[in-house]
Structure 1
Amino acid sequence: MKKLKIKYVLSFFMMASIFISLLSSCSNDDSNNTVGPLAIKSVSKAVEGTLTPTDIGYPANMYIIQGSGFIGVQKIYFNDVDTYFNPTLVTDSAIFVTIDIDTPYENASSELKVVTQNGTVTYHFVIAPPAPILKSYNPINAAAGDVVTIYGSFFLDPIVTFGTTPATIVSHTIEQIQVKVPAGANDTYPTVTTISGSATGNVAVGTAIYDDIFYGIDGVGGWGISNTNIENTVASEVAQGVKAIKVDITSWSGFQIDMWANGGHPVPANATGIRFQMKLKADAKVRVIVGGDWGHQVWFDITTEYATYVVKWSDLGLTGPPATIGSIVYGSDGTDTTFYIDNIGFAL
């Protein structure tokens, strides 16, 4: 006979323990054949210990509906979704039910409904989304008062801060937020908070060299390259914002970003290195050369999935950030391939 996995055994006994506790809390005059007036008094997450009433529930989690008159339950709805329940986990005063994972949370009724053979009762109950996901935002080099767009998921009734400073939301959908950058936001990170949690971006305001557009450069070029496309809008080829750099490149060739004018591109005094996101058409090695220093080539193993890489100052033989940088070269190894490069800037 197959053995049950321990986590399911523990979950079963936890549920049974709570169920028995609820039964024992009923008076001696109660029985499963006694039907009280139909009412929902509270909803609590099914956890061991003291049950804490809540008006917010999360899909795929079990909750206990407490009240009376539940004998003969026929249907349970969360946000109008017909939700499965086990009739053996129903008494006159309690129902154990798991919220369906596909229960909607946006533009929903925020209503729990229990239908019995003796009537129907409703209860205000909000279905929360998963915790927010902050994928990217742009423009990164935004000044106070500029409107930036934050991209991600599960932005239900969001609050946005830059560092600890609240920001004014202009508009939002479940996947995008347009927000005004507050004063003093430079070098801070945006955070989106909902009833389900918080998510913070990993790129600081004002640290971009390339973010859908280039900042403070002379131009791009190189050798052995073709099809240099910085207006890319194919979602699968973009890591940050809505555009990325796409370069078809031959073996042992290089894509170069020049920043020599006006003494070079200024480097933030608190920068720890140069960051970028990159992927290739096929796994290969890529070398990065900064400021024309071919004596300190930094090699990375790049895959077909976007990842974030950092050239640390120590990789370049430096003990701290230089005042400026004049160029960045992305060089191929012995493979003809395609570079996808995005979100170039400074790591703090």
Structure 2
Amino acid sequence: MKNIKIVSLAACMAWMLSLMFFSSCSNDDSASAYSGGPVIESISRSGYDLSGNILPSTPVTLVDPKNYYIIHGKGLLSTTKVYFNDFDTYFRPTFVTDTDIVILVDENTPYANASNQLKVVTGRGTAVFNLTVAPPAPTFSSYNFINCAEGDEVTIKGKYFLNPVVTLAKTATEPAVPVTIVSSTLEQIVVKIPANANYRNLAVTNISGTATSLEAIGTAMYDDKLYGMEWGGPWSGKGVNFDFDGDSYQGQKSWQWAFGQWDGGNWGFNYDMTRYKAMRIAVKGTKNGQVNFSVNGGPNYVIPVTTTWVYMEIPLSKLGNPASVTMLTFQESNNDGGNTVLFDDIGFVLK
């Protein structure tokens, strides 16, 4: 579900003025004489779509936070409170008539384990209407392990996983493939990997949208451990910890390297690069600095280091367009006594 471009405050005011003008000019005696308790007959969207067209007044039973809606009924003029899922929601009294309330659904409205009700409290009683508050679109922060195989149980982390559906994401040549969910919470899903999942991204969908992993399955060089290393080590013979569990960008662990000034190391591999257009890496340091990086002894690429995690994708064109990766070289280059650097999510980006 796409987020709808909400109406501006000025447009809402114009809409309310038209409602009030229509109400004041109406000769419908039965409407003006209504004296019963409040009734909610429908709720519809208010505002404009992305093309600038006014949204249709079609009744809905699903509302999106941070969007405006029109509550339609009767006996609403003396409204004192409006609740979405028992969340006290602010409204402007000037946006209320006896038949309509224009209101913005608060972004903090609860959506899980909620009452699924709209309540309007007036001087004549309370009206209740059944509806669902949509969660935000899901976010996909990580999954572990990236280099998984058929039958493996993989943990996906993120947010807003309300009644999720997980798939191998659709590609230009392949349809989406359902993935079995073993268990789920609002921030974590455990899934079982199906056959033929290599080089496919994982996607999580809720009623509000879809989030897709940055990384494709089977494209990791480091994901809690270093894959495919055939030889190598730090030049100083010390300082490397592939099993650091104090911080990570992806998964549970990261590669910690306590560099001395200008220290570095070489690591040997044998990866074919036919499928790939870039290398990826996430980096964080104890202090700001930089690390020189190269592939197969080719052109030097300077990786900036900050005290927060930074994810980057390095085009192969910046690394000499290698047809294969046989050696990675890292060298601390702060020129100020060294640095402790964390590396994570090292791998490849598909074409």
- TM-score, normalised to structure 1, is 0.85
**Counterpart check, 1:346 vs 2:348:** yes
1:179-218, aligned counterparts within 5 Å? 179-218=191-230
Query: Which residue does 1:96 correspond to in 2?
Result: 102
Deviation at 1:329, TM superposition (A): 2.1
Amino acid at match of 2:185: T
Give yes or no for contact 2:167–2:202 (8 Å, CA) kept in 1.
Answer: yes
Give yes or no for contact 1:267–1:346 (8 Å, CA) kept in 2.
Answer: no
Query: Which residue does 2:85 correspond to in 1?
Result: 79
Between 1:131-140 and 1:98-107, the stretch displaced more is: 98-107
User: Which of the residues 245, 256, 263 maps onto 1:246?
Assistant: 256
1:17-166, aligned counterparts within 5 Å? 17-23=14-20, 27-29=26-28, 34-35=34-35, 38-48=38-48, 49=54, 50-163=56-169, 164-166=176-178
Name the SS for the 1:246 alignment partner: strand
Amino acid at match of 1:342: D
For 2:275 and 2:43, the matched residues in 1 are separated by: 49
User: Which of the residues 175, 179, 184 maps onto 2:187?
Assistant: 175
Amino acid at match of 1:240: Q
For 1:311 and 1:85, the matched residues in 2 are separated by: 49
Give yes or no for contact 2:199–2:218 (8 Å, CA) kept in 1.
Answer: yes
Give yes or no for contact 1:36–1:92 (8 Å, CA) kept in 2.
Answer: no
User: Which of the residues 320, 331, 335 maps onto 1:317?
Assistant: 320
Query: Which residue does 2:13 correspond to in 1?
Result: 16
For 2:240 and 2:88, the matched residues in 1 are separated by: 52
For 2:244 and 2:135, the matched residues in 1 are separated by: 31
Query: Which residue does 2:278 correspond to in 1?
Result: 273
For 1:105 and 1:301, the matched residues in 2 are separated by: 40
Between 1:334-343 and 1:114-123, the stretch displaced more is: 114-123
Q: How many residues are paired up?
A: 328
Structure-2 change in CA distance of 1:194 and 1:230 (3 Å): same
Amino acid at match of 1:119: G
For 1:156 and 1:220, the matched residues in 2 are separated by: 45
Deviation at 1:208, TM superposition (A): 0.8
Structure-2 change in CA distance of 1:339 and 1:33 (3 Å): farther
Name the SS for the 1:251 alignment partner: coil
Give yes or no for contact 1:270–1:321 (8 Å, CA) kept in 2.
Answer: no
Name the SS for the 2:194 alignment partner: coil
Structure-2 change in CA distance of 1:307 and 1:267 (3 Å): farther
- Structure 2 gap ranges (5+): 1-5, 49-53, 170-175
Deviation at 1:41, TM superposition (A): 1.5
**Counterpart check, 1:332 vs 2:332:** yes
1:303-314, aligned counterparts within 5 Å? 303-314=306-317
Root mean square deviation, CA, Å: 2.4
For 1:267 and 1:111, the matched residues in 2 are separated by: 56
Deviation at 1:219, TM superposition (A): 5.9
Query: % of aligned pairs identical?
Result: 38
Structure-2 change in CA distance of 1:114 and 1:221 (3 Å): same
For 2:113 and 2:232, the matched residues in 1 are separated by: 46
Name the SS for the 2:276 alignment partner: coil
Give yes or no for contact 2:223–2:251 (8 Å, CA) kept in 1.
Answer: yes
Structure-2 change in CA distance of 1:197 and 1:344 (3 Å): same
For 1:273 and 1:135, the matched residues in 2 are separated by: 20
Deviation at 1:220, TM superposition (A): 5.9
- Structure 1 gap ranges (5+): 1-7
Deviation at 1:227, TM superposition (A): 4.6
